[in-house]
Chain A
Amino acid sequence: MHFEIMDYELPTNFDVVVVGTGIIESIISAAASRIGKTVLHVDSNNFYGGLSSSFNLESFLKLNIEKRKSICMEHSSLNDTETFFPINNSDFTLDEVTHQWNITNKNKNYSDEENSAQEDIIAKEICAKKWLKDDLLKESRKFNIDLTPKVQYARGDFIELLISSNIARYSEYRSITRVLTWFNNTLEVVPCSRSDIFANNKISIIEKRILMKFFTSLDDNEDLIIKDYASKTYKCFLTDKKLSKNLIHYILYAISNSTDSTLCLEGIGNTKKFLKSLGRFGKTPFLYSMFGSGDLPQEFCRLSAVFGSVFALDQPIHGLILEENSFKSILIGKQKIKAKNFVLGLNLTPDFFLNKVKKKFISRGVFITNKSIMDSDNEPLTLLLYPAENDKNPCTVLELPWLSSCCPKDTYLVHISCNQINNPEDDLKHCVKNLFTLNEDFKAFKPLIFYSSYFSIPTNSDENVNLHDFNNLFICPGPDSELDFVTAVSKAKELFLKMYPDDEFLPRAPDPEEIKWDGDEEPSDIAQ
């Protein structure tokens, strides 16, 4: 929704002003509001989530990728003791965006190929539904296309936070059905659970024993491992453990989501994280939020609002005003809004606080296809951890079925991401070629791409921020290339505790039923 008219007034005095609705900003907003601070939470976009947002197909096709022009601000409103730091209004910057349709609005005639009954059956199986471009556009609202897709470990810090803070009530999750890897030029299912391992016919009985022993031994010899492998790679450790090539592949590239150069302790940590998350909510350790990852920041915003924060999107945010070594106010439209603390997304941070460094990006591909990359009896929700190949980075492939509420029935929505080397299309080319086809060939076993899009997401951490001892400004890094939100949670907590060292970070919010109202009395209990 776009508003042209901006003639309304925001309140002008707060404990905290949060600018940007990315995941970290939203968690901090919720945490501050939760402990009773007054919060104004604004965004210059007219949608929540910034680069963590999700869009329906139509909005996705016309994402506004132009940098916002810095709006001239009236310096007359400043007095002598004030210094103005204009906000870097390039908040929402996707780069190198391309869209390609591989289907048209004309129905192709298949009749010349339908000459045998058998082919007819194959045709029916493979092209269960023939989509036209307009059909997909008509279903636009059934799509929820993540800019930065995330899966969560069932016992990872993000899910634990959702549960402990009681924010989990705002969302529904689906368990990822299977984890795949690319091995010897084919897709392989990664055995996740004990029963998976025993059911797997690609690994021998001896290997199974070794693998089980390996998993159970990880907790035991921690000290020895720290001593002997502190500077060695996880791959080296696995090789020393006499694991077979097969098993090393599964553990290294899939289970621990590592590379050849990942250090041993990090690899072990990742493996344990994976194992720990098994058996909580499903067959794999991973969860995906229904309706897309873009709902996750919104859930924290909701809690923030329930505890009284004022929310306003689509705001003309000009800049911060510094007075005597601390920030005093922020200029939004024609209003000067005072606050004790300011929380800002990294992309909005005034240039003054950023060291000049080379920007890093995530290469992204989005595909709409007709079937799953690996046949299944049911509609699978698949995570494929595609290992590094030659000069290419490892790729994360997330394939979402209709049941995830991210695409219409009879389609799949596929996200591919990797750390950028050249450009999105080039970085993902090999992976796309191995998984999909562009030809409407009945006999093709690979999924057919209806539509594809490539773009770059900036992913700068806050390493290069220099706040020059201004202690009431807090900078939140943008999206990262982790599978989950573990880094985001720890960053949000760190910043919150810097701001309010004596307060609890997101204590459990009471359920509405726990708040008792006695007639005309004040609420008697706001459970802590």
Chain B
Amino acid sequence: MAKTYDYLFKLLLIGDSGVGKTCVLFRFSEDAFNTTFISTIGIDFKIRTIDLDGKKIKLQIWDTAGQERFRTITTAYYRGAMGIMLVYDITNEKSFENIKNWIRNIEENASADVEKMLLGNKCELEEKRQVSKERGEQLAIEYGIKFIETSAKASIRVEEAFFTLARDIKAKMEKKLEASNPPKGGHQLRASEPQRKPPSWLSRCTLL
């Protein structure tokens, strides 16, 4: 079967319960906003393939499955993640304060070079705003990460957010490949995909 993409990126959504992570994911993957379905069935992950500088990038975006509610996200959730969207709700001060707790959690469990990005969601609710844009920007600067205010409901800048994160991961990855691996016919670029035919000496496989 021919591969329909050049890179596969595993992304995660993290943040307090209720900030709109699942809605952001749905806005990006289905271009829809619906609150009734979200409580009826948990979302595992969603896939969307995007085009970046002529490369097809398959984004596999994982949702927390509600395990963030009592701060009991499994350590396994973080395995192999290349990018993480940290989401807070601009109308909820506590969700913003908790971002630093989530960052600590990421530092404990995710790979050290994971790309992070900060999202202030529900930005169309200007009248209910508790967290100013400046504070969001300031926190992002503190952690050396990018920041965007989004609205899953009004469809504001959700695309931009994911494209930015994907672009940063791609740039980092290509830099790393150039630095450490002499080019060998581009075979290595697919290392993140489960291989059909495992190398005979040590096979790594995703069970299918």
Contacts and interface: CB of A to CB of B under 8 A. Distances in A.
Interface stretch (B42-50, B88-96, B123-131, B155-163): B42-50
A522 B43 contact: no
Interface stretch (A110-118, A164-172, A415-423, A497-505): A164-172
A411 interface: no
B77 A3 contact: no
A403 interface: yes
A347 B69 CA distance: 27
B207 A517 contact: no
Given A308-B42, A381-B202, A520 B66 contact: no
B36 interface: yes
A517 B30 CA distance: 8
Contacts of A512: 43-47
A427 interface: no
A306 interface: yes
Contacts of A378: 201-202
Contacts, number: 132
B69 A310 contact: yes
A223 interface: no
Contact of B108 (A1, A290, A302, A305): A1
B44 A295 contact: no
A48 B74 contact: yes
Contact of A295 (B47, B71, B76, B198): B76
Contact of B70 (A291, A312, A403, A513): A312
A523 B38 CA distance: 10
Interface in A3-49: 3, 8, 10, 47-48
B134 to A, nearest CB: 29
A103 interface: no
Interface string B169-189: 000000000000000000000
Nearest to A513: B47
B128 to A, nearest CB: 24
B79 A291 contact: yes
Interface of A: 1, 3, 8, 10, 47-48, 141, 159, 162-163, 168-175, 177, 281-283, 287, 290-291, 294-295, 298-299, 301-302, 305-308, 310-313, 377-381, 403, 512-513, 515, 517, 519-520, 522-523, 526
- A-B interface, 3 closest residue pairs, ranked by CB to CB distance from nearest: A168-B207, A305-B65, A298-B74
